[in-house]
């Protein structure tokens, strides 16, 4: 399997400059299926007080390709959510001939997975759990208010401050504005709701809003126990089947959590999305919990470290005759939950027949977003879209707290382009770089452009 990030060159030492923006990439600090993230120094900051950012480097794709549309959606939806204090701040997007660079805030505390598994930040600490989880709820709710559904909530996509007191939601690569989804298996299998998997009801359209709540429940379980409650939320999974039979009592037996925590998780893991906790209800319930941990001392319970990825059973094809029927499996013994693991970055992980498909494509994903087209021409001229496309807050280069949002369809690299349009609210600066990329890089790009994402 080809990881798009694996064909990217090593950018350590590389400098990116455009107008007043100048960055040097210092070291790789993370990678995923599509890109690599680098720690970068702002070369315009004082030597005595340097500023650092995280810059995500991705391949640039042809304007009309599925991958380019996916990048455009990610940029637009991340930018719309970026104002919230618990969402990773996207400052700028810079594009050159072969690559796209996301300039984001750098958070030195690593991700939530590391805080849970490597540092044990939340073991027996009700205060820390509440403070962090309420921040996550607030971040997701802020996205939902904008009509944005994340669809890939997991600890690896949540970053932490150095002291782990603040967390920040990131990676909007699968986010969508589609309120009723027919895309099954979108996300990471451990965190998918049953309706997202499409295995409890026969591929009925589902709400990504409610599915995000389910994913938050699995994250809460990770924070409390260092484990997932089951491998996958399907009746074919023995642990989930037992939960369908026994509810909160299964959670209490299988996990080191309090009675009140097991009741709360049972409400989050309600198979019927229509009666599942809303985010506001969940926020109230979290704050009302006396303790998430059992008595006596929760340190008596093991908090496992990362282990190898468990082998999951293949799910049989769903039977259309079972439409809208809740399935259960005749399991009568408690099944240990799955250890939380950090998966390898992949473009397409096949765990069930429906896992990790491409994002929904809705006309509202792009047209409904507040888009500011990229300004093109190395000579300082600019382009702008229609009034609908141009809505949004001022984004001058100097105002780094507001991201510059790129419409990939507007990218023109020809130096002959010299079109200037104005907007009444603000003027914009060119962020296009020119590059004479090598033939080798171009061959890589040509190969990647032939990769077909499943639809």
Sign of CA dihedral 241, 247, 252, 255: positive
**Distance, CA of 313 to CA of 184 (rounded, Å):** 18
Closest by CA to 275, choosing from 283, 264, 267, is 267
Cβ-contact 136, 212 below 8 angstroms: no
Q: Is residue 56 annotated as involved in ligand binding?
A: yes
Cα 193 to the chain's mean position, in Å?
16
Q: 152 an active-site residue?
A: yes
* Residue range 218-229, pLDDT digits in tens: 999 999 999 999
What is the share, in percent, of the chain residues with pLDDT greater than 70? Answer: 65
Q: What is the pLDDT of residue 423?
A: 30
* Residue range 53-104, pLDDT digits in tens: 999 999 999 988 999 999 999 999 999 999 999 999 999 999 999 999 999 9
Q: 0.85 cut: is pTM over it?
A: no
**Distance, CA of 48 to CA of 331 (rounded, Å):** 64
What length does the chain have?
Answer: 455
* Residue range 423-449, pLDDT digits in tens: 333 223 334 343 434 444 454 445 445
Closest by CA to 393, choosing from 425, 364, 368, is 425
Which one is catalytic: 105, 111, 152, 171? 152
What is the secondary structure of 260-299 as a DSSP string? HHHHHHHHHT-SSGGGSPPHHHHHHHHHH-S-SS-SS-GG
Superfamily of domain 112-339: Transferase(Phosphotransferase) domain 1 (1.10.510.10)
* Residue range 280-312, pLDDT digits in tens: 999 999 999 999 999 875 555 555 554 443 443
* Residue range 96-130, pLDDT digits in tens: 999 999 999 999 999 999 999 999 999 999 999 99
Distances from the Cα of 420 to the Cα of 370, 383, 423, angstroms: 20, 5, 10
pLDDT-based confidence at residue 388 (cuts at 50, 70, 90): very low
Residue 77: how many other CB atoms lie within 10 Å: 28
Helix (H, G, I), strand (E, B) or coil at 99: strand
Give domain limits for the chain.
Answer: 4-106+370-449, 112-339
Classify 4-106+370-449 by CATH class.
Answer: alpha beta
Residue 355 pLDDT exceeds 70: no
């Amino acid at each position: 399997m080809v990881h798009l990030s694996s064909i990217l060159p090593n950018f350590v030492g590389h400098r990116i400059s455009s107008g007043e923006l100048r960055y040097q990439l210092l070291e790789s600090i993370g990678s995923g299926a599509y890109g690599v993230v680098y720690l970068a120094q702002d070369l315009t900051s004082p030597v005595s007080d340097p500023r650092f950012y995280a810059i995500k480097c991705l391949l640039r794709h042809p304007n009309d390709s599925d991958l380019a549309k996916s990048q455009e959606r990610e940029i637009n939806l991340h930018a719309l959510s970026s104002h919230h204090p618990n969402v990773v701040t996207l400052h700028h997007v810079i594009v050159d001939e072969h690559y796209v660079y996301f300039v984001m805030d750098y958070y030195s505390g690593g991700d939530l997975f590391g805080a849970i598994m490597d540092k044990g930040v939340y073991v027996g600490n009700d205060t820390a759990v509440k403070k962090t989880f309420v921040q996550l709820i607030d971040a997701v709710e802020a996205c939902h208010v904008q009509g944005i559904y994340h669809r890939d909530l997991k600890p690896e996509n949540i970053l932490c401050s150095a002291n782990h007191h603040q967390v920040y939601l990131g990676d909007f690569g699968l986010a969508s504005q589609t309120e009723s989804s027919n895309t099954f298996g979108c996300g990471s299998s451990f965190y998918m709701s049953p309706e997202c998997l499409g295995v409890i009801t026969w591929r009925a359209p589902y709400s990504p809003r409610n599915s995000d709540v389910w994913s938050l429940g699995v994250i809460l379980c990770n924070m409390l126990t260092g484990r997932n409650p089951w491998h996958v939320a399907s009746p074919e999974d023995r642990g989930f089947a037992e939960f369908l039979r026994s509810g909160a009592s299964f959670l209490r037996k299988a996990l080191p959590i309090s009675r009140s925590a097991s009741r709360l998780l049972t409400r989050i893991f309600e198979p019927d999305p229509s009666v599942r906790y809303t985010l506001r209800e969940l926020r109230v319930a979290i704050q009302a919990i006396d303790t998430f941990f059992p008595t006596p001392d929760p340190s008596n319970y093991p908090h496992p470290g990362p282990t190898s990825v468990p082998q999951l059973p293949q799910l049989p094809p769903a039977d259309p005759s079972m439409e809208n029927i809740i399935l259960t499996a005749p399991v009568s013994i408690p099944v240990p939950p799955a250890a939380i693991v950090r998966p390898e970055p992949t473009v397409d992980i096949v765990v069930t027949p429906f896992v990790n498909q491409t994002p929904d494509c809705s006309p509202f994903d792009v047209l409904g977003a507040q888009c500011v087209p990229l300004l093109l021409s190395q000579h300082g001229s600019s382009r702008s879209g229609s009034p609908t496309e141009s809505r949004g807050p001022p984004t001058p280069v100097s105002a780094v707290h507001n991201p510059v949002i790129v419409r990939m369809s507007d990218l023109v690299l020809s130096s002959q382009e010299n079109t200037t349009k104005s907007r009444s609210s603000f003027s914009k600066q060119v962020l296009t770089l020119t590059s004479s990329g090598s033939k080798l890089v171009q061959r890589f790009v040509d190969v990647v452009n032939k990769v077909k994402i499943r639809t």
